[in-house]
Amino acid sequence: MPLQAVIFDVDGTIAETERHGHRVAFNRAFEEHGLPYRWDPEPYGELLAQPGGERRLEKYLLAAGHPAEEASELATSLHKRKQQLFLAIVREGAIPLRNGIARLVDELVAGGIAVGVATTAGRVWVIELLELLLGDERMSAVRVIVTGEDVSALKPDPEVYLKALAGLGCDAGQALAIEDSAAGMRSAKAAGLACLVVRNGYTTGHDFTGADLVVDDLDESSIDLNALRQLRESAP
């Protein structure tokens, strides 16, 4: 079926947010709360197996020996402050778009292809990040943004993509997802979308069996609108 919409993940896909963004903000939140924990770059990659920052924190705190109720309350408090600290990092310009994203969004808009976002992240910081990195004109072309706050189950559950498709008024067979992780890829495929994976430093070792195409960089791999159309048409 012909391509009608492309739905992007955010963390690690549209922008390199994890290593120098979220991880740093988590560590600053730990320090402000007087906690001894610090997430170094490489071990943090393993923690990313748990989608959702607050759930990641709670799981980590439970493993560190905090009682369940305390871990839950502390995770909520830490995550709220971490979001504020992360936005400060974003405003400093420390988190860039990944190569090829701006070009590809421009090509999609020019080609009349709908653009959407499907992420497990929080709505407030996602919208501000996208506004800062994409700019007003590109942001105005994003027709739907579904976040982790809009669903009951996070990736790899397909709910976030199903909601994005509903918001776009698009059939799954006419849409393609761009993801960076195995959980995101499984979410998109479970919703019936074709999926292009753009790996990053934290996801190079993921199992991407089932992806329609896996690349390391949109520019170096010559991914353009025609390539996305062909990918969608050739997908099962």
CA 79 to chain centre: 17
Q: If we measure between CA atoms, which residue out of 226, 159, 206, 210 comes closest to residue 13?
A: 206
Which residues have C-beta within 8 Å of that of residue 38, sequence separation ≥ 6? 27, 30
Let me know if 207 is a catalytic residue: no
Q: Which of 9, 157, 180, 212 is catalytic?
A: 9
Are the beta carbons of 177 and 194 closer than 8 angstroms? yes
CA distance 40 to 27: 9
Let me know if 11 is a catalytic residue: yes
Q: Which amino acid is at 78?
A: L
Which residues have C-beta within 8 Å of that of residue 110, sequence separation ≥ 6? 225
Radius of gyration for the alpha carbons in the chain, expressed in angstroms and rounded:
18
Q: What are phi and psi of 123, to 5 degrees?
A: -65, -45
Tokens for 34, please give them. Answer: 């007087």
Q: Which of 11, 157, 180, 212 is catalytic?
A: 11
The residues that are catalytic are: 9, 11
